[in-house]
C-alpha cells in the first residue's frame, strides 16, 4: 500500500510538472510592427464590416423574402424574386444595354485616355495646363454631367446646331432619345467625364517606364510604332487591367448620368440595372425585387474585383 501510494504521488507529481505552465515564445510573424498594425487597422475593419459587408448581406437576405409592398414582410420565399427577375423583359433589355454601354464606354475611355497620355508624355509646352483641362471633367459630378449633356444632345439645340452652322444640316441625330443608339450616345457623356482619370493612370505608367528602354529600342532601329507595340504597351498592361476594372465597375453601377439625361428613355433604350433597381425599390415599393437586382449587380462586380485583387496580391508577392 505504501509503495502504491508512493507511485501515485510520483505520477501525480510528474503530471503536475508536465501541466505546469511553460514560457512560450511569440510567433515569428507577430512582431511589434504587426501588433501595431493590427491595433491601428482593427477599428477600420470593424467599420467597413458594419457599414458595407453587413448591408451586402442584408441585401441578399431581403432578396429572399416577400417584401414587395410598403408593408414589411420577411416571409422567406427562397429564389422567387430571382426567378421573377430573370424572366422580366426589362431585365433582359438592361443586360443588353449593359453590354452596349460597357463596349462603348470602356473603349472610349481606354483608347482616348491612352492617346492623351501619350501626347502629354512628349513633354509638350503647357503640359500642366492641358493635364488639368483633361482631368477636370472627372471632378464634376455625374448629375451635372448628365444635365449638361442632356441639353447638348437635344435634337434642336446643342451639338446639332453646331453641326448645322458648319454646313451639316443633314446630320441631326436624336442622340440619347433614339431607341436604337441612345445608349451609345450616353457613353459619349460618360467617357467625357471619365477619360481624364484614365489618362492620368496611363501618364503615371508612362512616366514609370525607364528611358533606357526607349533609347535601346531606338538604337536597335525600332520606330515609334514598334516601340509602343513591343515595349510600352506590354509594360502598361497592369495599368490597362486597372482601367478595365474601373470602367467595368462604372458600367455596372451607372445611374447618376442616366437619370438626368432622360432615365430609361423610349422603350428602355437607355435603361440600366441601377435605374431599374431604383424605380423598383423607391417607385414601386418592390423592395425584395430591388434587392435581387442589387445583389445581381454585386455578383457581376465580383467577376471584375476578384481577379483584380488576385493580380494585386501576385504583384505584392513578387
pLDDT in tens, 232-267: 999 999 999 999 999 999 999 999 898 888 878 888
Cβ 130 vs Cβ 173: under 8 Å: no
Contacts of 201 (CB under 8 A, 6+ apart): 113, 117, 239, 242, 243
- Residue 251's nearest CA partner among 146, 108, 98, 145 is 98
CA 167, CA 170: separation in Å to the nearest integer? 8
Could you tell me if 159 and 152 are in contact, meaning their C-beta atoms sit under 8 angstroms apart? yes
Query: Which ranges constitute the DSSP H helices of the chain?
Result: 2-19, 32-48, 54-62, 80-86, 89-120, 127-135, 142-152, 159-165, 182-207, 211-219, 224-227, 233-235, 237-253, 273-278, 287-317
Burial 184-201 (b: 16+ CB within 10 A, else e): bbbbbbbbbbbbbbbbbb
Q: By C-alpha distance, which of 301, 292, 286, 251 is closest to 87?
A: 292
What 8-state DSSP symbol labels residue 24? Answer: P
pLDDT in tens, 26-72: 666 677 777 888 888 888 889 888 888 899 999 999 999 999 888 89
Per-residue pLDDT of the chain (318 residues; tens, 9 = 90+): 445 444 544 444 544 444 445 556 666 667 777 788 888 888 888 988 888 889 999 999 999 999 988 889 899 999 999 999 999 999 999 999 999 999 999 999 999 999 999 999 887 888 889 888 999 999 888 899 999 999 898 888 788 888 888 888 788 888 888 888 889 999 999 999 999 999 999 999 999 888 888 888 888 887 888 888 888 999 999 999 999 999 999 999 999 898 888 878 888 889 999 999 999 999 889 999 999 999 999 999 989 888 888 877 776 666
Calculate the alpha carbon distances from 304 to 8, 251, 311 in Å: 67, 11, 11
Radius of gyration of the chain (CA): 29
Angle of helix 287-317 relative to helix 237-253, nearest 10 degrees, comes to 170
Q: What does pTM read for this prediction?
A: 0.82
- The rounded distance, in Å, linking the Cα atoms of 238 and 304 is 14
Q: Are 120 and 129 in contact (CB under 8 A)?
A: no
In the structure grid, which three cell numbers stand for residue 246, read together? 474601373
Give the position of cell 505520477: 11
CATH topology of domain 80-317: MetI-like fold (1.10.3720)
Query: Do the Cβ atoms of 116 and 195 come closer than 8 Å?
Result: yes
**For the chain, what are the domain ranges?**
80-317
Region for residue 30 given its phi and psi (left: phi exceeds 0; alpha: psi -120 to 50; beta: otherwise)? beta
Amino acid at each position: 500500500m505504501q509503495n502504491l501510494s508512493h507511485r501515485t504521488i510520483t505520477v501525480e507529481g510528474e503530471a503536475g510538472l508536465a501541466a505546469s505552465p511553460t514560457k512560450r515564445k511569440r510567433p515569428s510573424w507577430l512582431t511589434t510592427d504587426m501588433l501595431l498594425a493590427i491595433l491601428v487597422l482593427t477599428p477600420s475593419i470593424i467599420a467597413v464590416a458594419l457599414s458595407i459587408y453587413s448591408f451586402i448581406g442584408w441585401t441578399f437576405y431581403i432578396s429572399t423574402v416577400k417584401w414587395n409592398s410598403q408593408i414589411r414582410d420577411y416571409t422567406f420565399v427562397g429564389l422567387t424574386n430571382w426567378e421573377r427577375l430573370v424572366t422580366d423583359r426589362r431585365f433582359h433589355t438592361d443586360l443588353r444595354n449593359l453590354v452596349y454601354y460597357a463596349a462603348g464606354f470602356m473603349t472610349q475611355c481606354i483608347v482616348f485616355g491612352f492617346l492623351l497620355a501619350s501626347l502629354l508624355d512628349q513633354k509638350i509646352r503647357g503640359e500642366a495646363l492641358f493635364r488639368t483641362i483633361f482631368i477636370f471633367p472627372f471632378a464634376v459630378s455625374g448629375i451635372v454631367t448628365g444635365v449638361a449633356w442632356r441639353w447638348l444632345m437635344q435634337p434642336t439645340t446643342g451639338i446639332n446646331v453646331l453641326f448645322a452652322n458648319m454646313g451639316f444640316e443633314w446630320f441631326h441625330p436624336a442622340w440619347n432619345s433614339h431607341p436604337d443608339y441612345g445608349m451609345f450616345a450616353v457613353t459619349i457623356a460618360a467617357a467625357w467625364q471619365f477619360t481624364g482619370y484614365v489618362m492620368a493612370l496611363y501618364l503615371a505608367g508612362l512616366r514609370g517606364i525607364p528611358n533606357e528602354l526607349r533609347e535601346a529600342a531606338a538604337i536597335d532601329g525600332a520606330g515609334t510604332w514598334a516601340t509602343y507595340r513591343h515595349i510600352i504597351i506590354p509594360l502598361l498592361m497592369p495599368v490597362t487591367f486597372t482601367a478595365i476594372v474601373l470602367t467595368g465597375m462604372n458600367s455596372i453601377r451607372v445611374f447618376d448620368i442616366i437619370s438626368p439625361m432622360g432615365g430609361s428613355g423610349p422603350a428602355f433604350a437607355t435603361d440600366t440595372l441601377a435605374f431599374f433597381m431604383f424605380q423598383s425599390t423607391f417607385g414601386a415599393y418592390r423592395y425584395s425585387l430591388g434587392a435581387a437586382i442589387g445583389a445581381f449587380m454585386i455578383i457581376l462586380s465580383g467577376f471584375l474585383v476578384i481577379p483584380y485583387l488576385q493580380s494585386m496580391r501576385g504583384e505584392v508577392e513578387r
